[in-house]
Chains A and B, each alone.
Chain A
Amino acid sequence: MTNTGNNRLVGNSFKLGYRFQRYWDTSMAIAFFSAEVGTGLFLVSYFCNYVLGMALGLALTATLKPYFHLAHMGVPQKSWRAILRPDRSWISRGAFAVAVLVGFGVLHVIDRATGLGAALGLSQGVIDLVGYLAVAGALVVMCYQGLAMSHSESLTLWASPLLPVSSFCYALTAGALLTLVVGWGALEPRRLAGLVNLAVLMLILDTLVVFGILLSARRKSKGGAFSAEMLLQGEYSSPFRNLVLLLGLAAPVVLMALGAGSYPMVILATLAMLVGFFAFRVLLFKAAVFEPITHDLAGSIGLPSAR
């Protein structure tokens, strides 16, 4: 005889109310995070002409990003199909951009490390073009994940033009800090000082963008306000305040202001920023709520709206 006693049937999913976004999880957060951190490191190192930083950035993006993306997919063995539709999907465009970044990036790094281009008799124009293509790929990778999220009209917290801006800013911040850590002692002091200024400026910008996302979500819809409240006062307020705001954004600024000339301080600031950035990625997934089953569904079909 089959026992049905403990079987959970539907929970509260048949009631009109919020339903949480549960499709993108930690594995996607790591994929996004590693791509943004790796690409930021590549881009900043490119402008510093720092080969080790570029190589590390590419390695991060080329390994962790695909690994965790594949781990998220339900049928990873068919993932090659994801590249085929850049005209329609940001996942395809992103996969394509990662391929461009890694392909041309690796060629650029090899050329910078060995002088291969010149040895093959390539003109300077062609050699530079390879680097520019890698940079173009990097710029897309730094934004596209935010673009993919902001396309999800159903999740107000994400459906903001500030999402790609936050992806780009956070990636650049991580890039500046990691280039400082990796290039300490190898880069000229003038360059290091410039990176410190860039990192502090970006941390301030990140803060403004994070609050911008919350404010716009709050204004846009009841579900958006619900998401923002969860981060500011509700279930996720303590990790949001402690990890994202204090540890990830405020602490690195203070540490850089107090001891930008000290390597341990720079390492600490970088670690703090990375922890905060990762927490931001995870919490942005967790706090998103679908609103289809909320009050405006009722309002849209002629019932009294609860808005």
Chain B
Amino acid sequence: MAKMGMVFDLKACIGCNACVVACKQENSLPDGVFFTRTLSYEHGTYPNTRRTYIPTICNQCEDAPCEKVCPSGATFTREDGIVMVDRDKCIGCSSCAVACPYDMRTMLDKDMFEKGLFGTGELTPFEKQGYERFTPGTSVKCDFCSQRVDAGLDPACVSTCPTNARIFGDLDDPNSAPSKLIRDRDGRQPLPEKGTKPKVYYVD
């Protein structure tokens, strides 16, 4: 059985945020909603300082706390390991948002849809068609662009990344690109102590 996952190459990420924009466009995300973020982290002491860009995304946890707390069964894991939200079942209790140790959930406000991306109260044709996929009041998160995965494509952020800092594939296949990277470059999961078994790894 497939176990879809992603690897972030910290050496390759240049913080251009092309992935963020691609995600916003692919998923028609309203103002203030991001399924992926590229954080900037400054470390070291002068004169030996560095800035590292850390891409973040829903880790599609194998032991997902957001799924465990969901009282309505709206959050579920597909056969290929992608953690999904069924908007018809979601009651908007926000328990998942509180439970996610990575703060990767967003609750959709009515406001976001009324104001529009440009805050004018007028929706562009792009927004009008895109917002149909959302129900105000419910919880949303990254699902690795499941609509693209189903069509045999990579998630939009992966296809767009100009430096190949995002590598996507089946972690159950030892010969897949992410599996090899994890093996060869000692892939690390974010906050392993939380016991969530993320399917997202980082290499540097």
Q: Inside 8 A of B119's CB, which chain A residues have their CB?
A: 6-7
Which of B72, B98, B124 is within 8 Å of A23, CB to CB? B98
Q: With A74-B92, A293-B103, A302-B188 in contact, is A16–B39 under 8 Å at CB?
A: yes
Task: Answer yes or no: B27 CB below 8 A from chain A CBs.
Answer: no
A301 to B39, CA, bound (A): 13
The listed residue with most B CB atoms (<10 A of its CB), out of A15, A81, A83, A306, is: A81
Task: Answer yes or no: A24 CB below 8 A from chain B CBs.
Answer: yes
A152 to B93, CA, bound (A): 14
Q: Is the interface of B mostly helix, strand, loop or mixed?
A: loop
Closest to B68 in A: A88
Q: Inside 8 A of B46's CB, which chain A residues have their CB?
A: none
Q: How far is the CB of B89 from chain A (nearest CB, A)?
A: 6
Task: Answer yes or no: B10 CB below 8 A from chain A CBs.
Answer: yes
Segment 76-100 of A: residues with Cβ below 8 Å from B: 76, 78-79, 81-85, 88-92, 95
Task: Answer yes or no: A75 CB below 8 A from chain B CBs.
Answer: yes
Which of A7, A89, A303 is within 8 Å of B204, CB to CB? A303
Q: With A2-B118, A84-B72 in contact, is A298–B101 under 8 Å at CB?
A: no
Q: Is the interface of A mostly helix, strand, loop or mixed?
A: loop
Task: Answer yes or no: A4 CB below 8 A from chain B CBs.
Answer: yes
Which of B52, B73, B193 is within 8 Å of A81, CB to CB? B73
Q: With A16-B40, A74-B136, A301-B190 in contact, is A91–B89 under 8 Å at CB?
A: no
Q: Which residues of A contact B (CB under 8 A)?
A: 2-4, 6-7, 10, 13-16, 19, 21, 23-24, 72-76, 78-79, 81-85, 88-92, 95, 148, 151-155, 290-293, 296-298, 300-304, 306
Could you write out 22 A-B pairs with CB less than 8 Å apart?
A2-B118, A2-B120, A7-B119, A14-B38, A73-B91, A74-B136, A74-B138, A76-B92, A79-B91, A81-B89, A90-B69, A91-B69, A92-B71, A95-B71, A154-B103, A292-B56, A292-B102, A297-B54, A298-B52, A298-B54, A303-B43, A304-B44
